[in-house]
Chains A and B, each alone.
Chain A
């Protein structure tokens, strides 16, 4: 156990490699075997991350399961004393209360997305190899404690996603993939510049050290950075992750991805990849530059409200279910911004709950849309209708998912929404009150979309469509189970988040609650 724990994160991050290696030796015509390996391969990281969850220490606020190794050392010159001066880039992993739940979320969604890929028919071998490579990238992003490593893993998620969208997507897949790469490339470039500048000034890539140096005013390296300069860096990091989240007006790429990518990839994309934006914002934006973030809080709240309302109004007029959900994601990510803008424990907790909760909910809803498309060959709202008759189970789950999404108590969406708003009410009550309009609008667009799909008279052509099959019931029930678990017993998620969030807030404002 001791040894396993000391390299547990490495095991989790690289465990998908096993499936990649096995898949490499399976002949491509054996589709059934490939699918089984593809699904079973995700169980290994799932089991390992559940181990991580079980042995996580809730009392500690700092990093756990840390691993450090020397990795790259680049000699760059001589110091006056004659010693060689070099850039050290370490291999540093670790998790705290924020990243651990995200790793578990990633593992769960990955397994369910693999199950959701069961109906995939085209080029299965490449599909599942890329799928598992993507997993490595995602785990790596959340486990990295080093900006260099973080950046590498961050980029590693882009490449497989690009191909997964571009090859296995719907009609305009290539256009969507290109747009995805263009935007995320710009984001990465901005991020890279910010990281390099940080490195040049602070001479370290370790995240904890960077935060520490930046917080100590006595440190000469920290003193060399003026508040304005820091604000510039904060803004660069904010923009880099705002593209990922996405924040208005950087959101258009994500619409295309949600419409064109295959359902399983949308589950991952909306469930996890977008969350890397929120994670980066909290960890690097607010974590490194709390004072600048505090200055920027009002703007964050305003952007959050724009996201919420703009996304909701647009979701209301969309004709395609996928577009409704895509704009819905934009709207829901606005709540994350609001939680951050609150700059107190309640708000941060709401934001992190929203990150996890939306991961489950959007995975559930996109999976359902995939199921409907599979059966009816359409996702246009006007062409659908009355599915509750032939698909009572799936329709019931869809309604439950919509209820979770619109923040019905007893489900995870409520907890996140409530605490994000509650936090903001403590700081900016008027902005928060404007934002709550989104609560009504969410109900308006979700009920419109879901009721048009499942309620009403059943057209003859849908009379015979099959309800959820056993392979589909599993993800539906598991996802809804997690949504209800978090909704009824939020402590399951709040306990790990607690200690870590508590350490961020005093740095920010000195305000406790």
Chain B
């Protein structure tokens, strides 16, 4: 029964092989690198499907394997892999999206000078991401966590000659690293408190009550800080919209579907730690909820198609965190479920946006328009993506968003519920603002747009299909996915703490949420579709509010003046200190020494009397010294 899961370690290995092949033969392969990447990822995808299918069977159990990696003193650190429900699901999502994005990129990146390098990075990323999701211990998670970060950095900075790309890559790396610091400290502390990096052993220690409550809270919050960085949660969200400087397929794969969801995955994977601390859960819930509404309100006014999608990603990730934070079986399922559906429809939206950018060579939505007829497949699939993210029945987003609202409602967190519904309204509005500006009306730019080739529209169609049907695996009437997800070890721990939850909204809540979304779409249609309401009505009525949103609440400016500039000044001052005080002091000592030397030189004056005086003085000194030290036990120590 378990035979296939034993080979799950092969899933990340194939993309690694692809990476090595493309690094070694990139120059010869040229655009053939795409074939290598696609082929190896396809094999991984096939294996992931089989692994998932096997784990999905009735009565399947987790599989864990590890080998010794390093001995430090008496501690043995292991590396290995684990297949449980969450891991199996993530393997499936990552290999699928990666495969589709690589197929798509064959068309999108066609003609690029560094084509093989692009596929090299994609393969390395896929390897790292898969390594991350099958890791059974925190150290291994951290290792791959950093590796996906560096791949993200490399891909954001893919157009290295563009100053914006350079700045964005640097920002992405540094801001996420600030978050990683929390994870780093959390791992170190947990190691000393529980004696292990293994997740299972850490959960056991918590269950046995070996940790004080404050330790659990601190460790959980530190791990969450890592998740904040990676998943672009407030206040470390600033890097994610800038990361849109990377090629669009990268935005779809890394900055929408997989890597940025790693933060959510991390919280889910260490969930027993979080549910042992109410304080930590509250932090997760409120940061998530705040990010959801905060990012959505920025998305309302952005003009760059990718930036709107980026803020939407930040906002949706906030949703997932919110679900995990309100806790209970329902929250856990809802957060994970939304992670999956979001991966499909957000990848779809980004690839659709890529298709548009490919055709019109601009990212400004106000220079687009009228593409519905020119790019029918892109337009239709993009519409499906918009309906899914807006949570319209019966698209995937409807079911997962409804699950989140249900979980929040069930936990009686009405403040968070209000935020979540308001964010849903914003989401529907800005997504359809985007849709109408891009596809409806007359063409505003000077471009000859035409539909993208089959390698690009093919993945769009597959993702569109998933965006329609993926929700049906977890409807309130047949929560197959939820039951399965909770049937494992983590599920048992959750149910021990909270009891089994329903997690599905009351009928009125479903209708209310749907109504709010439709209202958002309607408003967008009135403003940007029918143009019954002038689109500059709000900016003119409340310019400061518009500016606040358009300038992203000035968070970047805040960081610039509060962190970056002072660091520069500190460096400048320390530089002077180093040059004139530290180094100067030593030079001073050297000068003093030289001075004493000169003084000594003056003593060599050739007068016998002064020599005699010096000899006498020296003798006196010697006698004193010997008398003093003789009592101290004989410094010379001879003949003892």
How far apart sit A348 and B584, CA to CA, in the bound complex (Å)? 34
B536 at the interface (CB under 8 A from A): no
Range for the number of chain A residues in contact with chain B: 35 or more
Count how many chain B residues have C-beta atoms less than 8 Å from C-beta atoms of the other chain. 54
> Which of A310, A313, A389, A491 has a CB less than 8 Å from the CB of B567?
A313
Known: A345-B73, A455-B161. A410 touches B166 (CB 8 A): no
**B590 close to A182 (CB less than 8 A):** yes
Residues of A within 8 A of B574 (CB): 310, 313-314, 317
Asked if B548 is at the interface (CB within 8 A of a chain A CB), the reply is: no
**Least Cβ–Cβ distance between A381 and chain B, in angstroms:** 13
Q: Does B539 contact A (CB under 8 A)?
A: no
In the bound complex, do residue A425 and residue B170 qualify as a contact, i.e. CB atoms below 8 Å apart?
A: no
Chain B window 147-167, contacts with chain A (Cβ cutoff 8 Å), 1 for yes, 0 for no: 100100000010011010110
Q: Which 10 pairs across A and B sit closest by C-beta, in order of nearness?
A: A345-B73, A317-B571, A409-B143, A425-B188, A252-B583, A455-B166, A455-B160, A200-B637, A409-B146, A249-B582
In the assembly, what is the distance between CA of A408 and CA of B169, in Å? 16
Q: Which residues of A contact B157 (CB under 8 A)?
A: 451, 455
Chain B residues with CB under 8 A of A436:
181, 184-185
Q: Does A227 lie at the interface of the complex (its beta carbon under 8 Å from any beta carbon of B)?
A: no
- Interface segment, A107-115, A292-300, A440-448? A440-448
Do the beta carbons of A422 and B188 come within 8 Å of each other? yes
Contact of B170 among A432, A448, A494, A501 (CB under 8 A): A448
> C-beta contact mask, A484-513 vs B, less than 8 Å → 1, else 0?
000000110011001001100100000011
How many angstroms between the C-alpha atoms of A498 and B173 in the bound complex? 34
B637 CB contacts on chain A under 8 angstroms: 200-201, 203, 221, 224
One of A313, A344, A458 near B571 (C-beta < 8 A): A313
B622 proximal to A (CB < 8 A):
no
- Whether A345 pairs with B72 at a CB distance below 8 angstroms is yes
Residue pair A447, B170 in contact (C-beta under 8 Å): yes
Distance, CA A452 to CA B183, complexed state (A): 29
Chain A residues contacting B570 (CB-CB under 8 Å) are: 313
A456 touches B163 (CB 8 A): yes
Docked pose: A419 CA to B70 CA in angstroms: 11
Please report the number of residue pairs spanning A and B whose Cβ atoms sit closer than 8 angstroms.
150
Q: A451: which B residues are within 8 A, CB to CB?
A: 157, 166, 169-170
Contact B73 A346 (CB under 8 A): yes
A180 within 8 A of B: no
Is residue A32 contacting chain B, with contact meaning CB distance below 8 A? no
Q: Given A200-B635, A433-B185, A451-B166, 7 more contacts at CB 8 Å?
A: A344-B73, A408-B146, A425-B185, A425-B189, A440-B181, A443-B174, A448-B170
Q: Are B150 and A491 in touch, CB under 8 angstroms?
A: no
Q: Which of A200, A310, A349, A513 contacts B636 (CB 8 A)?
A: A200
Which residues in chain A, 167-210, are within 8 Å of chain B measured between CB atoms?
182-183, 197, 200-201, 203
A-B contacts, 26 listed (Cβ < 8 Å)? A76-B638, A77-B638, A220-B640, A221-B640, A248-B582, A316-B571, A317-B568, A317-B574, A345-B73, A345-B74, A408-B147, A409-B146, A414-B143, A414-B146, A419-B72, A432-B188, A436-B184, A440-B181, A447-B173, A451-B170, A454-B160, A455-B166, A456-B161, A457-B163, A458-B161, A512-B73
Which residues in window 212-263 of A have CB below 8 A to B? 220-221, 224, 248-249, 251-252
B70 contacts which of A201, A316, A458, A494 (Cβ < 8 Å)? A494
Rounded to whole Å, the gap between the CB of B261 and the closest CB of chain A is 20
Which of B69, B166, B169, B575 sits near A491, CB closer than 8 Å? B69
| A494, B163: Cβ atoms closer than 8 Å | no
A residues in contact with B617, CB < 8 Å: none
Judge whether B185 and A388 touch: CB under 8 Å. no
State how many angstroms separate the Cβ of B638 from the closest Cβ of chain A: 6
Q: Answer whether residue A288 sits at the interface, using C-beta atoms and an 8 A cutoff.
A: no
Chain B neighbourhood of A512, CB < 8 A: 73-74
Q: How far is the CA of A268 from the CA of B633 in the complex (A)?
A: 44
Question: A490–B184 contact, CB under 8 A?
Answer: no
Q: Say if the beta carbon of A426 comes within 8 Å of chain B.
A: yes
CB distance from A304 to the nearest CB of B (A): 16
Contacts of B71 in A (CB 8 A): 491, 494-495, 498
A 283-338 contacts with B by CB, 8 A: 310, 313-314, 316-318
Which residues on A sit within 8 Å (CB–CB) of B582?
248-249, 251-252
Contacts of B170 in A (CB 8 A): 447-448, 451
Proximity string of chain A (70-94) to chain B, C-beta cutoff 8 Å, 1 when within and 0 when not: 0000001101100001000000000
In the complex, which residue of chain A has the Cβ closest to the Cβ of B191?
A: A422
Cβ of A403 under 8 Å from chain B: yes
On chain B, the residues within 8 Å of A426 by CB distance are 192
With contact pairs A349-B72, A447-B170 given, residues A314 and B575 touching in the complex (Cβ less than 8 Å):
yes
State the majority secondary structure of interface residues on A: helix
| 0 or 1 for each of A423-466: is its CB under 8 Å from B? (1 = yes) | 00110010011001101100110011001001111100000000
Which chain B positions have C-beta within 8 A of A501?
A: 73
B63-92 contacts to A (CB < 8 Å): 69-75
Contact with A along B242-278 (1 / 0, CB 8 A): 0000000000000000000000000000000000000
Query: Taking the complex as formed, is B53 at the interface, i.e. its CB lies under 8 A from any CB of chain A?
Result: no
**In the assembled complex, how far is the CB of residue B44 from the closest CB belonging to chain A, in whole angstroms?**
20
Q: Does B612 contact A (CB under 8 A)?
A: no
Contact B639 A456 (CB under 8 A): no
Give chain A residues whose Cβ lies under 8 Å from the Cβ of B185: 425, 432-433, 436
Which listed residue (A251, A389, A418) contacts B161, Cβ 8 A? A389
How long is the Cα–Cα vector from A77 to B639 in the complex, in angstroms?
A: 8
Distance between Cα atoms of A433 and B218 in the complex (Å): 13
Q: Are A410 and B147 in contact (CB under 8 A)?
A: yes
Q: Which residues of B contact A367 (CB under 8 A)?
A: none
Instruction: Tell me which residues across on chain B come within 8 A of A316, comparing CB atoms.
Output: 567-568, 571
CA distance A414 to B570 in the complex (A): 27
Least Cβ–Cβ distance between A444 and chain B, in angstroms: 6
Instruction: Please give, as numbers and ranges, the residues of chain B lying within 8 Å of A76 by CB-CB distance.
Output: 638
Residue contact A491 to B75, C-beta cutoff 8 Å: no
> In the docked arrangement, what's the CA distance between A443 and B157, Å?
15
With A76-B638, A456-B163 known as contacts, the answer to whether A421 contacts B188 (CB < 8 A) is: yes
Residue of B nearest to A444 (CB): B174
A451 to B191, CA, bound (A): 35
Q: A249-B582, A314-B574, A456-B161 are in contact. Are A79 and B173 (CB under 8 A)?
A: no
Closest to A220 in B: B640
| Complex: A219 Cα to B147 Cα, angstroms | 54
Name the contact of B75 in the complex, choosing from A85, A313, A458, A513 (C-beta under 8 A): A513
- Asked if B303 is at the interface (CB within 8 A of a chain A CB), the reply is no
Q: What per-residue 1/0 map shows which CB atoms of A99-130 lie under 8 Å from chain B?
A: 00000000000000000000000000000000
Within 8 Å of chain A (Cβ to Cβ): is B586? Answer: yes
Contact status B73-A429, CB under 8 Å: no
Which residues of chain B are within 8 angstroms of A252 by Cβ–Cβ distance?
A: 578, 582-583, 586
CA distance A410 to B79 in the complex (A): 13
Give the chain B neighbours of A203 by CB distance below 8 A. 637
Say whether A370 faces chain B, with CB atoms less than 8 Å apart: no
Contact A317 B73 (CB under 8 A): no
* CB of B23 to closest CB in A, whole Å: 10
Chain A residues contacting B184 (CB-CB under 8 Å) are 418, 421, 436, 439
B361 is an interface residue with CB less than 8 A from chain A: no
Q: Does A271 contact B (CB under 8 A)?
A: no
Tell me the bound Cα distance from A489 to B586 in angstroms. 43
Q: Is B178 an interface position by the 8 A CB rule?
A: yes
For B72, the chain A residues whose CB sits under 8 A away are 345-346, 349, 419, 494, 513
